[in-house]
Chains A and B, each alone.
Chain A
Amino acid sequence: MSRTFVGWPAFPRAAAAATQDMQLRSNVTRATGTIRGKRAKLVTERPDWEDLRDSAAALKDEVLAHLDRYLLQAEEQVTAAGGTVHWARDAAEANRIVTELVRATGEREIVKVKSMLTEEIGLDNALEAAGISARETDLAAAIVQLGDDLPSHVVVPALHRNRGEIRDVFVREMGRHGRPAPQGLTDEPAQLAEAARLHLREKFLKAKVAVSGANFLVAETGTVVVVESEGNGRMCLTLADTLISVVGLEKAVPTWRDLEVFLQLLARNATGERMAPYTTTFTGVTPGDGPQRFHLVLVDNGRTRALADRVGRQALRCIRCGACMNICPVYERTGGHAYGSVYPGPIGAILNPLLKGPDDPQTASLPYASSLCGACNEVCPVRIRFTDVLLKLRHEVAEGDAKVKHPVEKAALDAVGAVMEHPAAWNAAVRAAGRVGPLMPRKRLPGPLRGWTDTRNVPEIPKESFRTWWKRTDGGTK
């Protein structure tokens, strides 16, 4: 079985460890820095960028508001075009459906196009348990799979690895799963890509079954859209006899024409390209071209839970461009693994609690994995207000229905609040602060505040507060 995020520590602990890993920090900083620059340049090319964002957000809201209707429409269209539609309430059901479909073909090795949803539901492990080997074909996903690693980014799952580490994984692991890495492989990205090409070529030429995700599912026509760069997607979507596309409910867009909005936004925002090298669109089965058996598995797995959250439902607009993590100063310093989910960064901080409920310490720690700087709000192509959702989820943890509570923190903030609310108490507290100020340790605070003084001093508390000064000098006039 490959590694999973099960049992992952809460964000503060995982993040504290990650910030100490200087190799990781440098890998993530370099990659996010590169992509930020490319994105920024291409976004300024479009004077109508904000208009595209408006349209994309509105289209996704329209889909979400009438999701039942749009999914039924998609189902009807896919079925009419010779495909079969399956519905899965949760991860286990989705895995069972896919496993049965693969079993029915008799194949033991299948190829996969990178899909965060199949990572989310743990499909590879489920297939492995059934004796089926699912080989990842996206370069980054293959790096993660070969290295028995975990994804750390939604667009580039191996973003936390540098070229040297990738070379080592290739040299060590490729031979165990097929064609070994070429002799004398260096860490040149072009050579590494060539090694992946040769290793995977054999698999593509033999593959009978492929599993993909989808970037979009057009309700009006039942069309599945897959955006990719390398051609591994085209290989899987085209060469297999049986294609199984595992798609989250929220991937629907209303009409064919709406792709003109999303396809103009996605690559620019994700990888800093005007269009990704390859976009494949297909509807059901095309006689004589590509897979002759097509299954669409629509997966809920918490999406309807998120949909019921009036503030949080906007997270389902997400088109997985990864821009929020690329811009995030927290992600830049922790990498994706600290979030304990295949969805890291700002979107992970909101989506995981919305999908699962913030009812375990790890999930409940995610809404706090943000300084609320709001940089993510500005780059989101579908205008998700991350900070609004983070605050709403924090409220759920602090005072709402979430099962994880922070009683000490609540007591402390209640006490502070009670003082602030009463003028006399607040006056007294501020004056007292001035008196105890000189006694305060400036380099080591006690208890939960200690984290501050791990890296920072505390300011000196002045002897005279502003209000004392105002009173003493009559507003500075005497």
Chain B
Amino acid sequence: MSTGAREEILGRIRSATADLPTQSPEVPRTYLRHAPDVDPADRETVLALFAERLEEYGATVYRAGPAGLVSTLAEVLPAGRVMVPTGFPIAWLTQWAGEALTEETTPLSRRQLDGLDAVLTTCAVAIAESGTVVLDTGPGQGRRAATLLPDLHVCVVRAGQVFSSMPEVIGSLDPLRPLTWISGPSATADIEMIRVPGVHGPRRLTVVLLLEEDQSRDAVG
């Protein structure tokens, strides 16, 4: 049955497109490779744009240098039970008083995850123009359910991971990994097209921007 459908649909497609030339015209790619009016080498501008756009969407943004990160995390994390995925630099948590849970041995159930106070992660890359952080489940990012059910998501983004626009990052991401592109906390505009923050996904998003001395691009991942 299914094979029949497949062949029939493919046949319909071929006859429907029979009039078209086999050689397609080239796809124009004249759109910007970087955020408008931004020099991607101007790191200060890129980072400022990233913070501005995140805040516009209702995320909270902190900036910290390598020396201040530990205290910043202690400040922004609730002193409760927080999911800290495998691979997250535990050394950053020395001043924080809460309880870190990992999934190193056994995954937490949905209800356990739902009962946590927060999830703390790193990210794969970030996009300044749209205020987006991308998680690829790599080290320090955990599986997708872990970053979804807790109501607060705290994400540490290293400055070198922030690029000005989407065309700069898309090639560095691995489509075979499940990716979550997060642009601000969960929201809806389904009631009278008015944006209301906070529905199902984490209702609060806190981004800690880690300013590094070395802001080279190979810091991605």
Contact = CB atoms under 8 A, between A and B. Distances in A.
B200 A159 contact: no
Contact of A290 (B12, B53, B178): B178
Interface residues of B, number: 73
Nearest to A49: B31
In this complex, the interface size class of chain A, counting residues with CB under 8 Å from chain B, is 35 or more
Nearest to A75: B6
A273 B27 CA distance: 26
Contacts of B8: 89
B175 to A, nearest CB: 4
Nearest to B111: A205
A259 B181 CA distance: 12
A192 interface: yes
B202 A231 contact: yes
A440 to B, nearest CB: 45
Say whether chain B's binding surface is mostly helix, strand, loop, or mixed. Answer: loop
Contacts of A193: 188, 191, 196, 198-199
Contacts of A197: 198-200
A27 interface: yes
B201 interface: yes
Interface string A265-299: 00000010111111111110010111000000010
A392 to B, nearest CB: 15
A249 B192 contact: no
B170 to A, nearest CB: 5
Nearest to A114: B190
Interface stretch (A11-19, A63-71, A355-363): A63-71
A189 B16 CA distance: 47
B19 interface: yes
A174 to B, nearest CB: 15
A238 interface: yes
B187 to A, nearest CB: 5
Given A189-B194, A192-B191, A260-B170, A62 B178 contact: no
A457 interface: no
Contacts of B130: 274-275
Nearest to B189: A271
B24 A230 contact: no
A45 interface: yes
Interface of B: 2, 5-6, 8-10, 12-17, 19-21, 24-32, 36, 53, 57, 107, 110-111, 114, 127, 129-132, 137, 143-145, 148, 165-167, 170-171, 175-194, 196-202
